[in-house]
Copies of this chain bind each other. A is one copy, B any other.
């Protein structure tokens, strides 16, 4: 690893050498997890480079290849698993300058990876009345490239499913890290090689995504004294094929009262809260359905309310923002990511609640998977020890609820704990020296790893 030589060769690019900003650019939202905070807090790159275009990306990769410098690529760093953190140091490649929306067509957009989700939506809406199908709750600050390389779904997934589902990414243009970097275009089955691969096997330089109509979504809060009734309502709503929604989130009591400052004055401690986004032309259908559940109360709708202080956008209470809001009030809170899959989702949810509430409070996101409505759980956990956290994971797994552990920094542990052969195979081809975001793909480092305990990358920087 010859850092100085690489820096010198890249000196004509936009290189950041200020210690404070290198440190900032070496971090993501890993601190959501006390486990990761403990292990990654000291991690820092040697330098940060911000290419302006694909040619400069190629130059960075080529130079770093030559000097054996690891390259960890990042967007806004709003991921939660340390996926954008340079475990071995080296170069952080920041794609913030590659933010152009290149073309908007009916049903699709072509964009550079560093474009903020918010800016992408604004451009699509202005040019064509369209918007992206789904986005993370960090829409205002996150990039589309980061969302694809490090995310899995979000607001909109209650209708469109997850990013990995066929049709939710159309095309990715990717640069490899070889002696002579290649430019590849991936579609169809090939997309799985590099989407949600944390930049471990290629750098995405252009993205083609499907679009949906941009409506003035009506954002709402609904309360219920009965948690399961609220959960069933969210599910029933998502099963109404004629009602177009973009978000259906359930927060077990007392999440709303304790952690949602601007909502708190309008709810009681025993209120389960539902957060919703419904298309304006589906509001009649929505209110008809709501009227069938007289025990539910519509307490807020963004287009017609008398709250003194607006709660802000409702999706910024859901997905990973729920944990963020809870953390701000109670630093001992962390979370889990659970799959409550069809058809046992309601049983599993009820069972986990009986076993673990209030140590673990449900935060459920309606999600479509394989054409069925199910729930992703981003459960809030009152953290005590790592052992207890592992126990809670095990209780879920034993009951049949798959856990995507957000307290791990590798692709496998944050996923289904199995090697993704498509990603591994492509890494062999595209990153022969293993310099892209090292330490994040166990299959590359240690093919025989048995997942009995947390993986620890042997070459991680030593804490000072």
Distance of A324 Cα from B331 Cα, bound (Å): 68
Q: Does A306 touch B at the CB level, under 8 Å? A: no
Number of chain A residues whose Cβ lies closer than 8 Å to a Cβ of chain B: 48
Distance of A147 Cα from B399 Cα, bound (Å): 48
User: Contacts A282-B167, A291-B189, A372-B371: A159 and B241 contacting too (C-beta < 8 A)?
Assistant: yes
Contact: A188 with B287, CB < 8 Å? yes
Q: Which residue of the partner chain B has the closest CB to A130?
A: B213
User: Contacts A108-B281, A188-B288: A210 and B242 contacting too (C-beta < 8 A)?
Assistant: yes
Question: This chain: how many copies in the complex?
Answer: 2
Shortest C-beta distance, A325 to chain B (Å), equals 28
Q: Does A268 touch B at the CB level, under 8 Å? A: no
Q: Which residue of the partner chain B has the closest CB to A163?
A: B242
Residues of B within 8 A of A189 (CB): 288, 291
Residues of B within 8 A of A373 (CB): 371
Contact: B371 with A241, CB < 8 Å? yes
Shortest C-beta distance, A208 to chain B (Å), equals 9
Interface residues of A in 295-352 (CB under 8 A from B): none
Contact: B210 with A213, CB < 8 Å? no
Q: Does A106 touch B at the CB level, under 8 Å? A: yes
Q: Does A165 touch B at the CB level, under 8 Å? A: yes
Residues of B within 8 A of A368 (CB): 241
Q: Does A126 touch B at the CB level, under 8 Å? A: no
Distance of A284 Cα from B285 Cα, bound (Å): 33
Contact among B165, B280, B282, B287 with A242 in the assembled complex (CB-CB below 8 Å): B165
Shortest C-beta distance, A127 to chain B (Å), equals 12
Shortest C-beta distance, A337 to chain B (Å), equals 19
Distance of A370 Cα from B371 Cα, bound (Å): 11
Which A residues lie at the B interface, using CB under 8 A? 105-108, 129, 133, 159-161, 165-168, 170-171, 187-189, 210-213, 215-216, 238-244, 279-282, 284-289, 291, 368-373
